[in-house]
Chains A and B, each alone.
Chain A
Amino acid sequence: MKTRTVELIASPKEPHFVGDGFRVHNFIPSGYRLDMQRVNPFILLDYNSPYKFPPSSQPKGVGVHPHRGFETVTIAYKGKVEHHDSSGGGGVIGEGDVQWMTAASGVLHKEYHEREWSKSGGEFQMVQLWVNLPAKYKMSPPKYQAIKNKTIPRHVLEDNAGQIEVIAGAYKDVKGVASTFTPLHMMNAKLNKGGKADFEFPAHYNTVLLVLEGSIVINGSEKMPTNHLALMANDGENFTIEAGEDAVVLVLSGAPIDEPIAAHGPFVMNSKEELMEAFNDFNNGKFGYLED
C-alpha cells in the first residue's frame, strides 16, 4: 500500500450568490485541475461557508430550475432548507441532514431557506455537490433519499480522536446509508484537537477533502486551513489527517466514470446532442411544471 499524496490545495474563491439564499465558494468545476473530468464523479462542489443571514419574512433561495443527468447532494451543516419539485415531492433538510436527489431523467425543483428558520435568520453553512451518473442511468427515473442526521452511521475513532459520519460508501466496518449508482465514499470526519484518522481508497478513485471547521495536517506534513479544498493525487491508497484544532472535514472519494462529459447550465450529459435534447425537453414541458 502506498501513501496518497496531496496534488493541490485550493483556497476559496470570492463567494457568489446562487439565487439570493446561497452564498457559495465554487471549488468544482473550476480552472486548474478542478475541472469536471479530473474530479469526476464529483462534478460540482459549492461551499456555503458559515454566513449569517438576517431575518427575512420572505424565504431566500433559488427559484424553479431543472436538472438532468446527475445527482445533487445537499449537506446541511447549519440552517434549514425547504425544497419542492415537479413530481409533488418536497421536504425540509435540517441541520446535519443530507438530501440526495437523483435528478437523472429530469426534475424541476426549487429550494429556499425553511420558512420558520428564515423568519429568525441565523448562521447558514452548507455543501452542494453534483455527483455524475453513468450514461446508462442518466435517463432513469428521478428519486430522493432524505437522510436524517440521526440515521447516519458513525464510526467512533479510538483515543477520543472523534468520529466519522458515513453518508455513503464505507469507513472501515461502517457502511453509509445512501445508495449510489457508482462506487463512491462520502463522509464527515469530525475530529477533536489532535485527533487522527486514516483513510484507504483505491488509488484510481478521485479524492478531495474540504475543511469546514478547524484545520488539519495531511500525511503528517501538509497543513490545510479552514475553507480550503485538497485534491489528492491518484498515486496511492492511504492517507491520514490530523486535526490541529477541533475540525470537520468532508471526505469524498469515488471511482471515475470513464465517459465523455457534455455540460451546460443545469444539464450534464455525454454528448452535445443529448444536451440539446435536454433543453428541448425542458422548454417543451417534459420536466413537468412547478409554480415559482
Chain B
Amino acid sequence: MKHTTFKTFLTSNLMIEEKEIISILENCKVKQVKKDEFLLRKNEHCSHTFFVEKGLLRQYSIDNKGKEHVLSFAPENWFVTDRESSYFNQPSVYFIQALEDSQVVFLDESFIQMLSNKVPNFTDFNNRLLHNHIRHLQNRINHLLSTNAEDRYLQFVKMYPDILLRVPQTMVASYLGITPESLSRVRKELAKKNFKG
C-alpha cells in the first residue's frame, strides 16, 4: 500500500551499492499505465515480469462461457507475470490489466540474467521469492479445495488488507471462487458477529 520504488526494493534486499543499482536499472523501463489498460492479453507472448511501484494490476482468465476468473491482484510491491508464457514460451491464457492508474517496472529475461550475473546474492533472493510464490500458490489451491467462503475471505484480507476498498466486490468474489452473493453474506455475518455499534 506504500509507494515503493523498485530501486528501494532491490537495495533493501540485495547487497548492492546505490551507484551500481542505478546503472543496472538503466536496463529496465518504468511505465505509467492508465486504469483499464492491458499489459498482457490472451494469446500474446508475455515477455516481462511486472513490478508494481504504485497502483494495482490484476491477472485473470476468461472461460469459454465468457466468465472472468481473477488469479491474482498485484498492488504496490508485488510482482506479476505469466510464467508459462514468459519462461516456457507458450502463448498466454491470461490477461494482465491495470485496475488503477499505475507505475509499473517492466523486467525482461535479460535483465533478470544481468542481475544474477552482477549481484552475488540475487540468486538466493530470487529463490526465496520463488519459494514464497509457490507457497502462496499451494495455500491458495488448498484453500480453494478445502475451506469455506468465510475462511477464504479471512485469508484474503490478511494478505490483501486494502484490496476490498480498491476493487469491485465481484472481482474479490471471483478471486475467492465464490459468488458475489456469498461474499456479501460472509461480510454480513462477520458484521453481525463483530459490529458493536
Residues of A within 8 A of B (CB): 65-66, 86-87, 106, 141-142, 264-266, 276, 279-280, 282-289, 291-292
Contacts and interface: CB of A to CB of B under 8 A. Distances in A.
Nearest to B188: A289
Contacts of A288: 191, 195, 197
B152 to A, nearest CB: 13
Decide if the interface of chain A is mainly helix, strand, loop or mixed: loop
Nearest to A279: B161
A16 B1 CA distance: 22
A95 B190 CA distance: 37
A289 B187 contact: yes
Ranked nearest first, the 3 interchain pairs of A and B with the lowest CB-CB distance are: A285-B190, A285-B191, A289-B191
Contacts of A284: 154, 157, 190, 194
B164 interface: yes
A283 B161 CA distance: 7
B165 A66 contact: yes
A45 B166 CA distance: 21
**Which residue of B1, B190, B191 has the most chain A CB atoms within 10 A of its CB atom?**
B191
8 contacts: A86-B197, A265-B162, A285-B189, A285-B195, A286-B191, A286-B194, A291-B184, A292-B169
B192 interface: yes
A60 B195 CA distance: 28
B193 interface: yes
Contact of A283 (B164, B169, B184): B164
Decide if the interface of chain B is mainly helix, strand, loop or mixed: helix
A65 B195 CA distance: 15
Nearest to A64: B169
A54 to B, nearest CB: 23
Nearest to B196: A286
Interface string B84-119: 000000000000000000000000000000000000
Contacts of A286: 191, 194-196
A89 to B, nearest CB: 10
Nearest to B162: A279
A141 B197 CA distance: 8
Interface string B1-35: 10000000000000000000000000000000000
A276 B157 CA distance: 11
Given A285-B187, A289-B191, A266 B196 contact: no
A80 B165 CA distance: 25
A276 B194 CA distance: 17
Given A264-B1, A292-B169, A285 B162 contact: no
Nearest to B156: A283
B193 A285 contact: yes
B161 A142 contact: no
Nearest to A86: B197
B191 A266 contact: no
